Structure 1
């Protein structure tokens, strides 16, 4: 397995290293993505593909009276996120679980926000996964997608060759899948200089 496969599903020592690199490398993108939403401090949040857990930390800072759940299908990511957020887990403000976005292990309408930072590239079928996100969101809930690649930069295609199963989407492709999955109000934000994209969809 080449090292970059760990961006899709961190495993072993290389995976641990990758989660730490993700936490640092995605910080500016995440900060920008969070700036596009307003957050209720009492919210129940699910961060899908939580990686190294840095975005859970940010969510916890914004939802002081709420609860944040991290989910990842990589055991390494779950362990690293649990380690980083150990204090909040002990306080009952957070939990991190192993799970698959195509069959999210939670009942209907339990979360106010679902976030997906740098992860939808690897999801197995956008429409099905977006339908699952819609299912676990409460009515009026928010789905935040944040990608470092907006599908318009040819240079990004090298990653799809390096990482098996990775697909970079344009905003139009993401919006179409969100509509099919039942999302109504969809706003798109773009950082043209960096080719970043953020989409905020409401159930």
Structure 2
């Protein structure tokens, strides 16, 4: 397995190095993403594909009277996330679970805010995944996707050849799949670095 395959599902020593790199390397993008959503101090939040747990930690800071769950299908990522959020796990404000976005182990309408940073590339079926997210998100809840690649730069396709199972989506593809899952009020944000942030709502009449 190539080292970069660890971006998909970190394993072994290479995986441990990768999750550390993710925590530092993606921090600027994550901060940019967070500027596009509002998080209340008592929100119940979920970070899907939580990787090294840095964004779980940020969500805990932004919702000091709320709770945050992180989920990832990599054992290495779960271990790292649990380590850096150990204090809030002890305080019963945080849980880190190993699981799959295609079968989220949560009840209907559990979360106020759901985030997905640098992870939808690796989901086998984003339409099916978005339906799962719609199910576990509360009515009027917010879902945010944040990617370093917006699908508009042909040079980035080299990563899909290097990393098995990776697919880069453009904003229109993401928007269509979100609409098909039932999401509304979809807002698309891009910047000069080629980053993409998509924020949407679940609003049932």
TM-score, normalisation: structure 2: 0.98
Spell out, residue by residue over 1:139-164, the C-alpha distance to the aligned partner (whole angstroms, 9 max, x if none): 00000100000000112111101100
Q: CA deviation at 1:56?
A: 0.5
Question: For the residues of structure 2 that align with 1:159 and 1:194, how far apart are their CA atoms?
Answer: 17
Query: What corresponds to 2:95 in structure 1?
Result: 95
Question: For the residues of structure 2 that align with 1:17 and 1:106, how far apart are their CA atoms?
Answer: 30
Query: What corresponds to 1:57 in structure 2?
Result: 57
Query: What corresponds to 1:34 in structure 2?
Result: 34
Query: What corresponds to 1:141 in structure 2?
Result: 141
Q: CA deviation at 1:124?
A: 1.2
Query: What corresponds to 1:105 in structure 2?
Result: 105
Question: Which runs of 5 or more structure 2 residues have no equivalent in the other structure?
Answer: none
Question: For the residues of structure 1 that align with 2:108 and 2:180, how far apart are their CA atoms?
Answer: 18
Query: What corresponds to 1:195 in structure 2?
Result: 194
Segments of 4+ in structure 1 off by > 6 A?
Answer: none
Q: CA deviation at 1:115?
A: 0.3
Query: What corresponds to 1:170 in structure 2?
Result: 170
SS in 1 for 2:103: coil
Q: CA deviation at 1:105?
A: 0.5
Q: CA deviation at 1:95?
A: 0.5
How many pairs are equivalent?
Answer: 202
Spell out, residue by residue over 1:33-73, the C-alpha distance to the aligned partner (whole angstroms, 9 max, x if none): 00001111100001000000000110011000000000000
